[in-house]
Structure 1
Amino acid sequence: MKRCPDCCRIYDHRAAVCQVDGTTLDDLNADPLVGQTISKRYRVVRKLGGGSLGPVYLAEELATGNNVAVKFLLKELHWDAELVKQCWWDARFATASNPSSIVRVYEVDRTDEGRVFIVMECLEGESLAELLRLEGVLELGPALRLASQIANSLAAAFKAGVTHRNLKPHDIMIVGPDHRIKLTGFGVARFRETASGVAQAGLIAPEYTAPEQLKGDNVADRADIYTLGAVLYAMLTGSAPSTAARQGAEEAGDLRAAPAPLRRMRPEIPAALEQFVMRAIEPRPEDRQNGMEQCLETLRNLTKSVVAGTATDVRSVIAWSHSLLSP
């Protein structure tokens, strides 16, 4: 059986496109989750994509008819009822702290077969990872605006008692006509931390992860400060800081290779911005900024000084990147 993803008409396996709108049909037989009803509440419509923790699907909430996104966590991840509860509370507290910039999580539960799933709001937009893939690097103004929004979200979450601990460009969505950011993935780091060996190595992005976290130490908001600095470094240079973490999480106890200074690659970067980023990605947490609030204040001041001389904004960058895909 096949289904049109737009109008949901059903066709037999020989059809290729919808007779009504010409849309390519989804093969319902290709994915056992498509077409299923999860926990008697959500009907899985089609696969949206995949990630290190598991695939994400578009689903319909049966009670309301609203679209939601459902992430099914990998079966290899170990969990128990308490872990599911902690993930759910992390996600709820993070969302409540700043609902406009953190993806809303509606539910964390298990299927009848015991597989953990997370129900989230369904977003239309693109990730920072996709924007960087198209652009390579961002201009200073757009990069600082995005970084300020990220810092604001992380600061609000920390005030609510939640750290992200697993943020990377794929978790930063750019949505809406005003191109605001929304962060995903709060709470799921708890599942990542239960994995071990090869499974865990595939679930982390070591180039965006603080050294103390890779070593298994207790982490606070300074781990998220490292991630913020690494993400901003990537926006300005096109790649994350080069560190020894790329050689494997098991080597996290070694000294990290010092990343190249920003101004060596982009001389137009102000010295104050370089100083901020390089301090944020210091290997020792005590050498980083004192807290996310301090980072936010610094980023806002940097944005004011940098943007004063340019009209470039996030909207123009995204419009340009979209034009690269136009026929």
Structure 2
Amino acid sequence: MGTLVGGKYRIKRLLGTGGMGAVYKAENTAVGRTVAVKVLHPHLADDGVTLARFQREARVAASVDHPHVVSVLDMGVGDDGAPFLVMEYVRGKSLAELVRVRGPLEARRACHVMGQILAGLEAVHERGVVHRDLKPENVLLTVESGREDFVKILDFGIAAFVESAARAPGAELTPIGRAMTTPYYASPEQLSGATMGRDARVDIYAAGVLLYELLAGSRPFVQSNLADLCHAIVADPPPPLRAFRKDLPAGLEDVVLQAMAKEASQRFPSARAMLEALVPFGASFTDDLPEPTDTFTVDLRALREREAAASKDTPTKDTGGAGVLGVDVVGALVEVLEKRTTREALAAGAKAEGLAWPPRRDGWGEGRWLAFVESVDRALGRGDRRLLAEAGRALATRGSRFASPELVVGAAAERWTSFFRDGKARIAEIGRGYGVLEIDHPAPMLARSVVFVGYLDEALALAGGRDVEARLTKAGALGDERDRVEISWST
């Protein structure tokens, strides 16, 4: 104790240890704030590629501002080469402690807790972050503003970093071996190595296992050795919940089983969809929580309000006909939709809208994909075009990445031309940590603009920008002379 981490975080006491490292209560000596510092094992960052991924994941996690997600405040690498994360310090107990002491929870209490977990998952999934290691130890219960059982989720972005370390040259452990101490909450596809990407449905599976445990007081699969445990998770149905709890409301077990489906396509397509299914049993939406303060969410909502005020709250259906979107844009739109519905339902919906299925992979794609995603956003989301912004973020992860935020801004006009056939973007201003883009278009649309702002926001973060803000401050679709995107970042 007393060690100084990162030059300013003085360790006060050990809070816990695990397969990835140790968590300490510490003090930021610069401002006197109590924080939690998670120090990862040095061997997890023994190559530069893995460390770079850790930094990217941590920056994205730090950009999430949600009451049910523990805030990431800082990160770095210690003198011994061990990466560390600095997070808000939360006083409370973990779900693991609660179940160990109390056993099964009353159904409404369990669903109330799970509803908050799903609300937090929804927020981070919208930023393209998947937890991949959701378990009772990573869910804290605290008291906030007089509310008991207030959920805070830990460790977003950590599992992806550990998986990257496991795939590094010379790694001796499997991804599961490095990413978690036990695979009780791992999805079948994680255990089989079928997914390493940003498929949010692995978190839906883990949420189903967590809810099962809260209701039954024990995990669904408990075997004497790792091989049998993994086989059971992949192949066997979970024991019926009603064998433990005959008092469960009708239909609640069906929700748990759908979340725990062996095939990802049979699970709930999103955290919000599972949350909606749990509302009759005690879950609730977080509309009464403090409004999000991150600039991106605020801007999307402001655009929606401007649109409604201008009596344009119904999105335009004609987005310019065929051949106006780059195939990468269409691919990103489809990628986002596939995370929220089955491929079969997506194909049927696309065909109902007159869209070619599967979409073409070269040349230019149909602009009506934008309207289709908007309709899904109204049905499954908040109607603020966040799915379009998420597609823009997905675009930023395709292909090569830029070495610096300045290069992202410098190439923005060219990127617009490759994404959209019509319209012209130009760099109006660029400097150290800021830039301004102006976009003229013969038929301006908010959908296009939101996709592009989402792309810029993610591309800047991937290029090393911190505290990134990409703001659509003027919109031709809302009566302004042209689109204006103001960008700022720190390095």
Indicate the residue corresponding to 1:217 in structure 2: 194
Structure 1 residues 147, 251: closer, same or farther in 2, change over 3 A? closer
SS of the aligned residue for 1:174 comes to strand
Quote the offset at 1:89 in angstroms: 3.7
Indicate the residue corresponding to 2:177 in structure 1: 201
Does the 8 A contact of 2:223 with 2:229 survive in 1? no
Q: Residue 212 of structure 1 aligns to which amino acid in structure 2?
A: E
Q: Residue 49 of structure 1 aligns to which amino acid in structure 2?
A: G
Is 1:50 paired with 2:21?
no
Q: Residue 248 of structure 2 aligns to which amino acid in structure 1?
A: I
Which structure 2 residue ranges, 5 or more long, are not aligned? 167-171, 285-491
Indicate the residue corresponding to 2:244 in structure 1: 265
Counterpart of 1:285 (choices 250, 253, 264) is 264
How far apart, CA to CA, are the structure 1 residues paired with 2:59 and 2:280? 31
Indicate the residue corresponding to 2:307 in structure 1: none
Quote the offset at 1:42 in angstroms: 1.4
SS of the aligned residue for 1:77 comes to helix
Counterpart of 1:191 (choices 151, 158, 161) is 161
Quote the offset at 1:251 in angstroms: 5.0
Indicate the residue corresponding to 1:102 in structure 2: 69
SS of the aligned residue for 2:151 comes to strand
Which structure 1 residue ranges, 5 or more long, are not aligned? 1-33, 306-327
Quote the offset at 1:112 in angstroms: 1.6
Give the total of aligned pairs.
272
SS of the aligned residue for 1:298 comes to helix
Structure 1 residues 254, 151: closer, same or farther in 2, change over 3 A? closer
How far apart, CA to CA, are the structure 1 residues paired with 2:228 and 2:66? 33
Indicate the residue corresponding to 1:4 in structure 2: none
TM-score by length of 2: 0.52
How far apart, CA to CA, are the structure 2 residues paired with 1:132 and 1:38? 33
How far apart, CA to CA, are the structure 1 residues paired with 2:283 and 2:232? 38
Residue by residue over 1:17-55, the C-alpha shift from the partner in whole angstroms, topping out at 9 and shown as x without a partner, is: xxxxxxxxxxxxxxxxx2221222211222122122111
**How do 1:140-289 and structure 2 match up within 5 A?**
140-176=107-143, 177-179=146-148, 180-193=150-163, 194-195=165-166, 196-197=172-173, 200-201=176-177, 203-204=179-180, 205-218=182-195, 219=197, 220-242=199-221, 247-248=226-227, 251=230, 255-289=234-268
Does the 8 A contact of 2:111 with 2:283 survive in 1? no
Quote the offset at 1:103 in angstroms: 0.7
How far apart, CA to CA, are the structure 2 residues paired with 1:187 and 1:93? 8
Q: Which has the higher contact order (CA 8 A, sep 6+)?
A: 1
Does the 8 A contact of 2:61 with 2:129 survive in 1? yes
**What is the percent sequence identity of the aligned residues?**
35
Indicate the residue corresponding to 1:311 in structure 2: none
Does the 8 A contact of 1:158 with 1:221 survive in 2? yes
Quote the offset at 1:178 in angstroms: 1.0
Quote the offset at 1:95 in angstroms: 4.8
Moved more, 224-233 or 197-206: 197-206
Does the 8 A contact of 2:205 with 2:260 survive in 1? yes
Does the 8 A contact of 1:214 with 1:252 survive in 2? no
Is 1:70 paired with 2:23?
no
Give the CA RMSD over aligned residues: 2.5
Structure 1 residues 102, 85: closer, same or farther in 2, change over 3 A? farther
